[in-house]
Amino acid sequence: MVEPAITALTEQLKKLGNASSLHSAGRAARKDLEQAREIIAEAIDCAASEVVFTSTGTEANNLAVKGLYWQGVKSNKKVIITSTFEHHAVADPINWLAEHEGAQVVRIGVDRDGFIDLVELKEKVNEHKNNIALISIMHSNNEVGTLQDIDQVVKIAGNIPVHSDCVQSFGKVDLSFNKLGLTAATISAHKIGGPLGVAALILKRGLDIEPVLHGGGQERDLRSGTFNVPGIISFAAAAKNAVENRKERELKVRELKQELIETIKKNTSDAWVNGNIDKSLPGIVSITFPKTDSEGLLLLLDGEGIACSTGSACSAGVQRPSHVLLAMGLTEDETTSTLRFSLSYTNTINEIAKLGSVIATVVARSKAASGKK
């Protein structure tokens, strides 16, 4: 967590007021909560009334996907359009709706750089136009960092509700809910230096959707449950810090990213970068090291004090080929020879140099041990 988020969290923990209570401590907590809502709204360029707090990005994605679908079903709209490489927090609830509630799912393919086929999207929208409950396309991919043309998706959609998972993008690149014209967007605290376990669904004003949770009627009766006031206050502090420093940090991280790519290419003969280097998030780099085993490679690098992952951190420990990389055209062998490096403004050029000093050796060891031809 960043220092502003830690300070805000610890200060609010001393108060311990329930923002739904009418006593003085409760009113004070409510005031703090609404101020935090305004800060987050300003950070993503939406109205404060459009910020719906949830526990996680996964919950917010479920609320958006299921809520918009159930609302569409009331008008006999049962088609969901999505991409072939969404985060599991979007893909899995869509699959659940297909299996249990008869949703008709249309998945738009992506190219080798991870960009969705806008021509195919337009064709599918025209084909199913009167039956589409929602479109859900992520703003940036969590494994390869590809930034989609969401404004073009919204333009093609017309009056169809469009949701976008913006968890990876928020606070890292320029992101405006109003300018994109989205119906709903998901953001989360932990990706910008805030605490785990607090997130938000940004939902267009005046739109009613079906809730996933029922209870006390908090958050416009869209997300019942006692407010995590300390977490929300900390989320707001992290959002303010991220947006105020975004341009400077983005520039630094993009420079580190370019240095990392050049360092790996210099020290390995056959590695390649997945996705578009320029039109992508500043801090995510997906690199395939052919004929290696990614888990073994990860452990070898970890032994050198270098942390990376074999894909999404949310899927850590799950041994299966990346559906993201498969959707982009990689083979199963190639997906299991791929690592994801995540950079932030706290990383240094010396850390990149350290990677460069060991990468050739660990790749050679991994190739020898993998048995891949």
Query: Known catalytic residues?
Result: 314
In 3-state terms, the chain is what percent helix, strand and coil (to 5)? 45, 15, 40
C-alpha–C-alpha distance, residues 193 and 212, integer Å: 27
Give residue for tokens 């502003």: 4
**Assigned token pair, 304:** 């050198």
C-alpha–C-alpha distance, residues 167 and 173, integer Å: 11
C-alpha–C-alpha distance, residues 316 and 311, integer Å: 7
Q: Give burial (CB, 10 Å; 0-12/13-18/19+) of 231.
A: buried
C-alpha–C-alpha distance, residues 177 and 166, integer Å: 10
- Residues 6 or more apart from 364 whose CB is under 8 A from it? none
DSSP 8-state code for residue 311: S
C-alpha–C-alpha distance, residues 240 and 222, integer Å: 25
Long-range contacts formed by 72-77: CB under 8 A, 24+ apart: 72/132, 72/133, 72/134, 72/161, 73/101, 73/133, 76/131, 77/130, 77/131, 77/132, 77/133
Judge whether 339 and 289 are in contact, CB under 8 Å: yes
C-alpha–C-alpha distance, residues 370 and 337, integer Å: 10
Residues found in the chain: 373
3-class SS string, 352-371: HHHHHHHHHHHHHHHHHHHC
DSSP 8-state code for residue 148: P
